[in-house]
Chains A and B, each alone.
Chain A
Amino acid sequence: MNMKTDLDKAIEAAVERSKGDWTRDDLENIIREVVTNIEGDIDSVHVKLFQQIESLAKTISQTKKELASIRPDEIRSKHLPQASDELDAIVGATEEATGTIMDSCEAIEEMASGIGGETAEKLVEAVTKIYEACSFQDITGQRVSKVVKALKEVEEKVERILNAFGDEYKDLVQSEPQQDTAPKELTEEDLLNGPQLDHEANDKDEIDRLFNS
């Protein structure tokens, strides 16, 4: 602040002294005087510092633009919840399938108890191995829960990024080139989404209705 004031004073003094018709020498003197003052107040360390600050400001601005371009709001509101839903669906599907397998095992055990003898023993032995193998569902469920927890942490971090942006984020997003929202022809790649979550999928009756319409 003080530096600017000194510079202003030097310029004002030089201009005051040179009022009236200016010769080439007058102009040269003014410039020399101002430059001398600048050199006195701003040394090479200051200049380097200013350059670095300017570079830092540019980097921050660029980073903000890049962060805005990856749409953290969509990551938080769309992609992460979608990933969590898919993982929950895995747990649900494996639990259901394991339940069906175990229903059948219990039925086999029941039948085995009616048969008796060596065959029954072999059946029970085989069923026991299936029970043991079914514990994969519990392990899978726990592992998936850990992944969901990790996703929640990512979600919280994204939330913090958005909070750090504040209202500035809206401006940055608006300044991003708009995605083309016009209807486009679906490619095969667009159609391949894999298994659908229950609330997104058509049931068999709806498929039949679509097929017969």
Chain B
Amino acid sequence: MVDKNMDVLIVDDYRTMLRIIRNLLKQLGFGNVDEATDGQMALEMMREKRYGLVISDWNMEPMTGLQLLKAVRADNDLKGTPFIMVTAESKTENVLEAKKAGVNNYIVKPFNAETLKAKLVSVIGQF
């Protein structure tokens, strides 16, 4: 079973979305949630603390979610971190690009709590 006390990092440049994901995760029992507002900030936080899961938006500045994902996968210490992309980018080429970069799963905004739960289970296992 998954340890719900794991540290989760959520990355989004919209405060509303950070809050929504944080609250939905809390409802699912994940209380240790940190927030970053772009890829660069997230990467720095990941180098300071080991996260059990990263849930990231794609479209952010200065570092996008895809750049963050590539940086994570290229870093020997971080490359095994489960990574879910939550984004409004729903085109096939986006999904394929993220898959190629090593994303574990992909959620298209807007999404509901059931979708988030199902994707979490598929990435980190049953909880």
Contacts and interface: CB of A to CB of B under 8 A. Distances in A.
B110 A136 contact: yes
Contacts of B14: 95, 137-138, 141
A132 B23 contact: no
A139 B20 contact: no
Interface residues of A, number: 19
Contacts of B113: 128, 131-132
Interface in B7-58: 12, 14-17, 19-20, 23-24, 27
A135 B23 contact: no
Contacts, number: 54
Contact of B23 (A102, A137, A139): A102
B16 A102 contact: yes
Given A128-B113, A142-B59, A142-B88, A135 B24 contact: no
Contacts of A98: 16
Contact of A134 (B12, B16, B59): B16
A95 B12 CA distance: 14
B59 A131 contact: no
Contacts of A95: 14-16
B16 A135 contact: yes
A95 B14 CA distance: 9
A106 interface: yes
Contacts of B59: 142
Contacts of A105: 23
A109 B12 CA distance: 23
Contact of B20 (A124, A131, A142): A131
Nearest to A106: B23
Interface string A93-107: 001001100100110
B20 A134 contact: yes
Contacts of A134: 16, 20
Contacts of B76: none
Given A95-B16, A142-B88, A131 B110 contact: no
Nearest to A128: B113
Interface string A168-184: 00000000000000000
- Counting from the closest, the 7 A-B pairs by CB-CB distance are A135-B110, A138-B17, A138-B14, A137-B16, A132-B112, A98-B16, A128-B113
